[in-house]
Amino acid sequence: IVGRPNVGKSSIFNWLARRRLAIVDDMAGVTRDRMTYLMEADGRYFELVDTGGMGIEDPDNLTGQIEDQISTGIETADVILFVVDTRAGLTPHDQEVAKRLRYIDKPIICVANKSDSENLDPQADEFYRLGRGKLLVVSTRADRNRPELLSMIVERLPPPLDDQPSSEPVMKVTIVGRRNVGKSTFVNSLANAERMIVSEVPGTTRDSVDVRFQLDGKEFIAIDTPGLRKNKSVRTNIDFYGTHRAKRGIRRADVVLLFFDASQRISKVDKQLCSYVAENYKPCVFVVNKWDLYYKQMPTDRWVTYLRDTFQTMWHVPIAFVTGQTGKNVKALLNHAQMLFKQSLSRVSTGQLNRLIKAAIEATPPPLHNHRRPKIFYATQVGIQPPTIVLVCNDPKAFSPTYRRYLLGVLRDQLSFGEVPIKLYLKRRASSDKRSDLEDPDTTPAEDVLEEVNDFDELERFPPDDDESDLSDMQFEA
């Protein structure tokens, strides 16, 4: 999707995808990186690519890099949507864009956007003078001619490949962190291409951007997110949507890579990001970037101690030291992230869980509550991503937070998913449930418990919600 600034390219992108993916704003030059979205229409899969405005003068001196991103998008495209503005009419800037497309030997569709009613359609006829592909009038606001545009795109796609799609799920890795910690440089190292605009200017990335790449024959999706900073006021629409997309990138992730700059201290923003990752139960790796420049000032063991002391509830999170610019340790980091992804998909039998919980209780019985010993009848896993375990007991409130942490630690130490978050529930046994207790370790009540898992009057989660923090006062740096 190409065109001059402010013709509605990002609106077209969101409209076709039926998602609010790209930031849409009246200010020219909001889009910098290429945004992508894999979608399906008429039985064909294809990737939409949104680009920045051609000829934009960027205030942060990134014009050259934005133009490089546009050129790369055009070179790798199979079909080009040349977007123009019906209400504004034909401009010299449109003619300059048409000149750039003159020698592009690819199907081009001239999309006359902002044709909100049929009364405006005759105004679009002047775009025939550009001589660049089939003309179609559309309106994202009035939802005009979306099926027609999708059909035209599909008709112009190359023949489908015979390759069978992989049966393995594609892992989504979200890269988060403060501004200017090297997230986009790291993504470029993964993709082996200048996929993201990289600059010393903080806040260069404005959208969360999906980048597809392959490693050792396996496909991955890296989600680069805007850098966040502490800011109690939302100054612009771009600030608001940038923060929203960073948080959504975390929620979409299979694994989160939380980046730290080796030259800087851990900040409140880092702590809030970590809390948001934990709140969403996402597998995570602490990534110390720019390690080659600062390892002499702060050796590896000191950084590990620093991170462990700062994030004392996240001892299960692995730590990696990388140099995104040179690619050092990047492949090893991705392999470890893939291992975390597999752990989050792991299942354990009810029999194994019951034997494990029984041994833990025998080793350290729960403290008395109201002069009575709390009792766990059985345990079962009811979900994955994250692994979700329910302990059916006589009284959830009888188990102290300390004892719950003990049980969670036992599960983490003994099971195959020790490096990922575990969601632990305590549920009161229903009066109709006549199953025996842990003496019968092979009971498999997962389906029955799953049906009741939304009964929050009788169900308590650990860790509790009270300790969760949000990012409402954090804003991305534009």
**Under CATH, which number does the domain 171-345 receive?**
3.40.50.300
Q: Is the pLDDT of residue 241 over 50?
A: yes
Domain range list for the chain: 9-156, 171-345, 350-467
Residue 452 burial class via C-beta count within 10 angstroms: exposed 0-12, middle 13-18, buried 19 and up: middle
Q: Say which residue the tokens 């399906």 belong to.
A: 40
Q: What angle do CA 180, 184, 189 make, to 5 degrees?
A: 130
Strands 284-289 and 319-321: parallel
For the domain spanning 350-467, the CATH number is 3.30.300.20
Using CA atoms of 20, 22, 27, 30 in order, give the dihedral in degrees to the nearest 10: 160
Q: Pick from 144, 129, 145: which is nearest to 90 by CA?
A: 129
Give 408-458 pLDDT, tens digit per residue: 999 999 999 999 999 999 988 876 565 655 654 444 444 444 444 444 334
User: What's the CATH code, domain 9-156?
Assistant: 3.40.50.300
For the stretch 68-112, pLDDT in tens is 778 878 888 999 999 999 999 999 999 999 998 988 899 999 999
Residue 463 to residue 423: CA distance in whole angstroms: 8
The pair of structure tokens assigned to 202 is 């903080």
Q: Do the domains at 9-156 and 171-345 have one common CATH topology?
A: yes
Is residue 168's pLDDT more than 70? no
Cα–Cα distance for residue pair 321/323, rounded to 1 Å: 7
* Euclidean distance between CA atoms 393 and 374, whole angstroms: 8
Rg of the chain taking only CA atoms, in angstroms: 26
Mean pLDDT, the chain, whole residue set: 80
Decide if pLDDT at 361 tops 90.
yes
Q: Is the bond preceding residue 463 a cis peptide, omega within 30 degrees?
A: yes
- Distance, CA of 388 to CA of 390 (rounded, Å): 7
DSSP string, 41-72: ETTEEEEEEE-PPTT---TTS-HHHHHHHHHH
| Nearest-angstrom CA–CA distance, 34 and 50 | 5
Q: Using an 8 Å Cβ cutoff, are 32 and 205 in contact?
A: yes
User: Are 108 and 101 contacting, i.e. CB atoms less than 8 angstroms apart?
Assistant: yes
pLDDT in tens, 381-416: 988 999 999 999 999 999 999 999 999 999 999 999
pLDDT of 233 over the 50 cut: no
Q: Which pTM does this prediction carry?
A: 0.62
